[in-house]
Structure 1
Amino acid sequence: MKSLQDPVAKLTGVGAKTADALATLEINTIGDLLTYFPSRYDDFAPTNLEQAADKQKVTVHGTIISEPLLTRFGYHRNRLAFRLTAGHGVVNVVYFNQPYLKKQAVLNADVTVLGTWNRGRQEIMGAKLVSANNEQSMGAIYPVNKHVRQATLRKLIKQAFNKYSDVIATLLPIHLRQQYQLLDRKTMIHDMHFPKDGAAAKAARRTAAYEEFFLFQLRLQAIRLAHRQEDGNRILYNNSELRDFIKTIPFELTHAQKRVVNEICRDLRSPYQMNRLLQGDVGSGKTIVAAIAIYATIIAGYQAALMAPTEILANQHATKLAKIFAGTHVHVGLLTGSMTAKEHRLFLEKVASGEINLIIGTHALIQDPVHFANLGLAIIDEQHRFGVQQRQLLREKGKSPDVLAMTATPIPRTLAITSYGEMDVSVIDEMPQGRLPVKTTWLKSDQSEQALMFLKNQLAQGAQAYVVSPLIEQSEKLDVQNATDLYERYAQYFEPQYKVGLLHGRMDADEKGQAMRSFADGKIDVLVATTVIEVGVDNPNATVMLIYDADRFGLAQLHQLRGRVGRGDKQSYCLLVADPKTEEGVARMKTMVATTDGFVVAQKDLELRGSGDILGKKQSGVPDFKVGDPIADLKMLQVARSDAENLLKTPDWDKKDENQPLVLYLQRHELSTHFD
């Protein structure tokens, strides 16, 4: 029985060496080979040379009418020249350093020449030479490497299609193909590789992109459905007691916060395991939403755990939540690496007995010695900083605890529906009332004196400031400001009138903690730091964020740094000192000045850098689509998600004969249990 799962070695001419070479392109099976699609096409449609502009790329069909002449000059340099009939005239054709074309370029041969037109000399500078018996008007160009040649790939794809086309089953349900006028899979694969013209290639790409998005979303939605079918804890908290707690909060929740609280509380009371992502810009009030969820969990008799990426952030959460929960049933415990062995043992005993019912810590929470009495809710803060495995270990600490992942890195809808498609997403898209947007200014390095004067003026008004550098110490390779030098310069400039402190990643936990506390207590006026302050420093009195060599930071990072100020009721400022050398660097600076909306910033970051770089592919799970572009094809991606959800909700969809290839596909992707 032939199958698309057959190894490529089944093809004629594919031995162990060729199979290994193909594996470097992640081509192992016939199916991999047939879905290894071209990145672009050469257009073989002929150009009218009479209308062609000078230096234009042209394609000409004709007959070679002079004996091709190969002239060698210099080391590995040569020139192949011949004359070609072109329409009603004759043109000269010249190829440089492609001596192997001499075999194809023979007198009286019919050929297609691709090259650049020199109108004055009536000459084509050749780039490619194709035999005219090629029936296609489009030539596929594949992404290859040093192990695999274009010609090899084309030949093997042609052979694979001829041998296996009769076992290519269509995966997309017929109603979707009819609704969107999509091709069957066999035609789509044929026209991706061997299109007869540009229209055929376009139609094939449209079908391939939709199929790719649909299959990806179907897998994610199947996982999501499975989560919903798993037995979770029904956290049946006392509603009036929770309302009384919310009344003690000294400010009115925003409409967005209220909406998100309702979404989370509905999940807590449901019988299935919550798997929700809480997105909110810096300063949008995620902590108080998490506190309400924690309180609901604890008054229902369960424990809650909060895992943060750094000790600084874990400490800050513990301090903040201890104040919020003062005088309630919530007993906060902070697990840190600096505990003595005795403190650690006593702490673990209190967690295991349930005496401590809110446990806060770093990844130490997921290590073996920590045993919970009755974990009901696991919260992961800045979740993209933890690997998938770490998040899963926290989930496994209790009996199917509800999971709330939080992030202050705004994720554009494009990424949310690809990388977090299996999660329910809640968004706080509204800032608390009275919060003033941070005023952002971009200065060139020769204007840095202005930044110092502005900073001095703010300090005179009782404010505090951050000064950020991309490096800790002087680098010979990079001509950028570094934290140690900046600290010395600022100390010389501002002390003794104002106290300057230093904070960077190489300091130990105690030194970092001391610097942070001194800054929070107002003992340090200017904190010179590296990006260690990107997450988790909260000082409402800090009103200035001054970033040197700002063009060396990504947009998401710049936005996170800017979010360290503007946390109180005073007007705050972000000064970017940068001399960007690239258009992308200039675009980043302009974006930061133009908007303080994290979702706008994140969308721009996505456009500039691409999806893989925003969260880091390994952790975010952002797929590397072969055909579809989640940015350019966002509408198609959203439609595919909706279609996948609707199909899974349709009774007995997986029993219909026409859908069996799709069911088999899902079973091969280890989702068979959802469709038995």
Structure 2
Amino acid sequence: GSTRAPAAAAPPRAAELPPAAELPAVEPPLAHAPVTVLPRVGPSTASKLEGRGLVTLEDLVFFLPAGYRDTRQRRSPAEAADGEVIAVEVTVERFRQGFARGRFLATAEVCDDEGTPISLRWFHRVGGLGQRLQPGMRLIAVGATKEFGGRASMVHPELYPADDPPPPIAVRYPVVEGVGARTVSNLVRAALHRLLDMDGLEDLLPAPLVEAQRLPSLVEALRRLHDPGPELSPEEIQLLQQGRSAAHRRLAFGELFLLQLLLLRRRARWCAHEAAFVSPEAGFDREGLRACLPFEPTGAQWRALDEIERDMSSGQPMLRLLQGDVGSGKTAVAFAAVRAAVAAGSQAALMAPTELLAEQHLRTLEPWCRAAGVRVALLTGAMPRAQRNSLLALLAAGRIDLLVGTHALLVADVAFAALGLVVVDEQHRFGVEQRALLRAKGERPHLLVMTATPIPRTLALTAYGELEVSIIDEMPPGREPPVTRLLAGRGALPKARATVAKAVRKGAQAFVVCPLVEASEVLDASHVEATAAALRELLPEVGIGIVHGRMASEDKDAVMREFREGRLRVLVATTVIEVGVDVPAARAMLIEHAERFGLAQLHQLRGRVGRGGGASLCLVHTAHGPSSDSAQRLRVLTETADGFAVAEKDLALRGPGEIFGTRQAGVPRLRFLGFAGDGTRMLLRAREAAAELLRGDPELREHPRLRVAIEQRERDAPVYTAEAG
């Protein structure tokens, strides 16, 4: 196992939060005013800004610089290293522009005060360049130096008149299509000054908290980011450049604090209700559980079970995430929770993302349930009406203890007598509304969410912040991870396919996974067809099936069944979802163009082979060369079989901002997480601070602005553990 993260702060046990109508109203802040309140921003400019997500004054002041240039020192290119950014005062000698070899080129020959000749070059048209570069004019050029044809040059430098020099620290913003760089910079400053002058920038973080965290106020942070003063040292400029300054940390902490406040309030609201009490003696006796299972649970499974027992015997609803690699034994832990709920007189529901996976869960659970005296049934959308009606009658009468199914469990006429536990196999994300509907069928059932996506421990607090986290970080004995090999370079794909074909001829079944091609279903289908055709040439005697996004779900299921039953020996698929199925004879996998997947996703995929025991092989292919960044990243998979180690490495390589850049269900978009270093310590500090504030003021009556901001975020991010019922 890996080292455990420090325990997260316990959330407050709040009374039911009051309806918003009882709390004082708050005026909308000036920061939400549209950008058109600024001078010279008409409909055309506003529309271009909106294309970059810049709609309000607040959006502009949080549009952070992409870089900083220190223009205080005037230096000759002769003294500068190649690629170093300098500011140099020059006199224009000659300027010409036109086309060379079919591409645009503008060149100004200038010289500095020492007489050193310098070429300034532009490779695309810039308006008014000719007027600004007339012979004899004095200018300050700011840019990176590069030696070109034996003389110093600068490509696309910024130009300032010598009598109107640049600010001491020049700020560069990300590109806004159709709006000039100088205009963007002026608009951000105008928005900041308007808000500062009218006291319209409200710091949502309480001042004592900001002090305790040794962070600057919001106003100080934004001033430092957009308007760094001339007194900064080179080291401070470097921290700004790298996104590691105190000002950056202030924005990241503020965002994480608000997120944790939202998640902990959500949890408090859910836990304010009573839930079915499960007595530890009746529900969780180890000997009774051992008698139902054909194996001895691992230490990690027992630990997870202890945490579930503590929740289910507390009298309040459990909200727990169970994380573990594919094959680590999450289903057995879920079964133990079901057995405990049934012993307490409750019913349980287990919801899987596809009918195929629901059937797979049923096959696994049936013998265990028989041994435990738990009555289990499967409900699918395809069930004949008469059979369905009799099953629903048994369910409503309390004569089915565990119902396994897909979204078919959510239909209005599916009524439980006493639903006390909901288990969601969240491997492939249900919609928020679906989870809410399922929970609405019980008063306040206990909730257990299972995921095989390895999320670094503390970042799970961001993705699933209102759930406590249990981790199974140990594999059952005898389960060998697949041998993972990286094949990099242009000629690697035929070799990889030949290796898979060889394994199939020796009796293995194989998965071949193709990435989604630019989210185009048409291209996906053709990519899969082409791969399947190449494999059919290598394996003319073997059944090869394909699964892709354009197929109806019944057709996908039919192909998957044939593969599971061994009638097809190779499955070529784009979508990862269908690969969730358990095929014990699958002992080989090829992932083509693996650089298009995240490391955690690749790790999850390879867990699909070797489930029947024995040696298995996963080939990871990239067309990029062996020394490319892609190959370096993918090499991590060949070095470790531990999903959490893979996830931590993914976090170190890509940073938390990129991993959580894609919207999590029920979590607001995090803009500044990338400035939080590895995110871990700051996240735990933010959670502790949020919990402490809520202990003293659970309804945020003393912090009305903060309450309004949190409620706004609730509306923007659909509720993850939806308050249903």
TM-score norm. by structure 1 comes to 0.84
Q: 1:545 aligns with which of 578, 583, 588?
A: 588
8 Å CA contact 2:64, 2:173 repeated in 1: yes
What secondary structure, in the 3-state scheme, does the structure 2 residue paired with 1:289 have? helix
Q: 1:326 aligns with which of 370, 375, 378?
A: 370
Aligned residue in 1 for 2:140: 111
Following the alignment from structure 1 to structure 2, what is the Cα–Cα distance between the partners of residues 664 and 54?
A: 52
Q: How far off is 1:292 after superposition?
A: 0.8
Following the alignment from structure 2 to structure 1, what is the Cα–Cα distance between the partners of residues 188 and 551?
A: 56
Instruction: Within 5 Å, give how 1:629-668 maps onto structure 2.
Output: 629=674, 632-652=677-697, 662-663=706-707, 665-666=709-710, 668=712
1:214-269: CA deviation from partner (whole Å, max 9, x where unpaired): 2333322332333322x142333462354153131232222211111121122222
Aligned residue in 1 for 2:158: 128
1:366-395: CA deviation from partner (whole Å, max 9, x where unpaired): 122322222111111034421222222222
Read off the aligned partner of 2:420 and give its amino acid letter.
G
Following the alignment from structure 1 to structure 2, what is the Cα–Cα distance between the partners of residues 576 and 323?
A: 35
What secondary structure, in the 3-state scheme, does the structure 2 residue paired with 1:371 have? coil
- 1:257–1:114: structure 2 CA closer, same or farther, 3 Å change rule? same
Aligned residues: 652
Aligned residue in 2 for 1:497: none
Of all paired residues, the percent bearing the same amino acid is 35
Q: 1:167 aligns with which of 184, 194, 200?
A: 200
Correspondence 1:21 to 2:48: yes
Instruction: Within 5 Å, give how 1:11-410 maps onto structure 2.
Output: 11-46=38-73, 48-49=75-76, 52-53=79-80, 55-62=82-89, 64=91, 69-74=94-99, 77=104, 79=106, 81=108, 83=110, 85-86=112-113, 88-89=114-115, 91-92=117-118, 94-96=120-122, 97-98=125-126, 100-105=128-133, 109=138, 111-118=140-147, 120-121=150-151, 124=154, 127-131=157-161, 133-134=164-165, 136-165=167-196, 166-196=199-229, 197=232, 199=236, 201=240, 202-229=245-272, 231-237=273-279, 239-240=281-282, 242-243=284-285, 244-248=287-291, 249-410=293-454
Following the alignment from structure 1 to structure 2, what is the Cα–Cα distance between the partners of residues 114 and 466?
A: 54
Following the alignment from structure 2 to structure 1, what is the Cα–Cα distance between the partners of residues 139 and 595?
A: 54
Instruction: Within 5 Å, give how 1:229-628 maps onto structure 2.
Output: 229=272, 231-237=273-279, 239-240=281-282, 242-243=284-285, 244-248=287-291, 249-413=293-457, 415-442=459-486, 444=492, 445-446=494-495, 449=498, 451-457=500-506, 459=507, 464-470=508-514, 478=527, 482-483=531-532, 486=535, 489-490=538-539, 492=541, 502=545, 504=547, 524=567, 526-530=569-573, 535-540=579-584, 542=585, 544-547=587-590, 549=592, 551=594, 554=597, 555-568=599-612, 570-576=613-619, 578=621, 580-581=623-624, 583-587=628-632, 589-606=634-651, 617-620=662-665, 624-628=669-673
Read off the aligned partner of 2:96 and give its amino acid letter.
T
Following the alignment from structure 2 to structure 1, what is the Cα–Cα distance between the partners of residues 553 and 85?
A: 65
- 1:236–1:579: structure 2 CA closer, same or farther, 3 Å change rule? closer
Read off the aligned partner of 1:155 and give its amino acid letter.
N
Following the alignment from structure 2 to structure 1, what is the Cα–Cα distance between the partners of residues 188 and 523?
A: 53
Following the alignment from structure 2 to structure 1, what is the Cα–Cα distance between the partners of residues 547 and 474?
A: 32
8 Å CA contact 2:120, 2:157 repeated in 1: no
8 Å CA contact 1:46, 1:58 repeated in 2: no
Following the alignment from structure 2 to structure 1, what is the Cα–Cα distance between the partners of residues 546 and 527?
A: 21
8 Å CA contact 1:303, 1:374 repeated in 2: yes
8 Å CA contact 1:232, 1:402 repeated in 2: no
- 1:535–1:340: structure 2 CA closer, same or farther, 3 Å change rule? same
8 Å CA contact 2:660, 2:670 repeated in 1: no
Q: How far off is 1:321 after superposition?
A: 1.2
Following the alignment from structure 1 to structure 2, what is the Cα–Cα distance between the partners of residues 108 and 273?
A: 75
8 Å CA contact 1:55, 1:118 repeated in 2: yes
Following the alignment from structure 2 to structure 1, what is the Cα–Cα distance between the partners of residues 571 and 294?
A: 33
Following the alignment from structure 1 to structure 2, what is the Cα–Cα distance between the partners of residues 612 and 313?
A: 32
For structure 2, which runs of at least 5 residues remain unmatched after alignment?
Answer: 1-26, 516-520, 716-725
8 Å CA contact 2:511, 2:590 repeated in 1: yes
- 1:483–1:99: structure 2 CA closer, same or farther, 3 Å change rule? closer
- 1:641–1:207: structure 2 CA closer, same or farther, 3 Å change rule? closer
Superposed CA RMSD: 3.8
Q: How far off is 1:185 after superposition?
A: 1.3
- 1:606–1:311: structure 2 CA closer, same or farther, 3 Å change rule? farther
For structure 1, which runs of at least 5 residues remain unmatched after alignment?
Answer: 495-499, 672-676
Read off the aligned partner of 2:158 and give its amino acid letter.
K
- 1:633–1:334: structure 2 CA closer, same or farther, 3 Å change rule? same
What secondary structure, in the 3-state scheme, does the structure 1 residue paired with 2:403 have? strand
8 Å CA contact 2:562, 2:568 repeated in 1: no
- 1:449–1:16: structure 2 CA closer, same or farther, 3 Å change rule? closer
8 Å CA contact 1:45, 1:59 repeated in 2: no
- RCO greater where, 1 or 2, for CA within 8 Å and sep 6 or more? 2
Following the alignment from structure 1 to structure 2, what is the Cα–Cα distance between the partners of residues 453 and 61?
A: 64
Following the alignment from structure 1 to structure 2, what is the Cα–Cα distance between the partners of residues 596 and 114?
A: 46
Moved more, 577-586 or 8-17: 577-586
8 Å CA contact 2:275, 2:315 repeated in 1: yes
- 1:656–1:544: structure 2 CA closer, same or farther, 3 Å change rule? closer
Q: How far off is 1:193 after superposition?
A: 0.8
Moved more, 309-318 or 148-157: 148-157
Read off the aligned partner of 1:206 and give its amino acid letter.
R
Read off the aligned partner of 1:171 and give its amino acid letter.
L
8 Å CA contact 1:351, 1:373 repeated in 2: yes
Q: How far off is 1:484 after superposition?
A: 5.9
What secondary structure, in the 3-state scheme, does the structure 1 residue paired with 2:140 have? strand
Q: How far off is 1:324 after superposition?
A: 0.6
8 Å CA contact 1:118, 1:125 repeated in 2: no
Moved more, 19-28 or 476-485: 476-485
TM-score norm. by structure 2 comes to 0.79
1:97-141: CA deviation from partner (whole Å, max 9, x where unpaired): 435144555756563433425485455555211345456322222
Following the alignment from structure 2 to structure 1, what is the Cα–Cα distance between the partners of residues 414 and 705?
A: 46
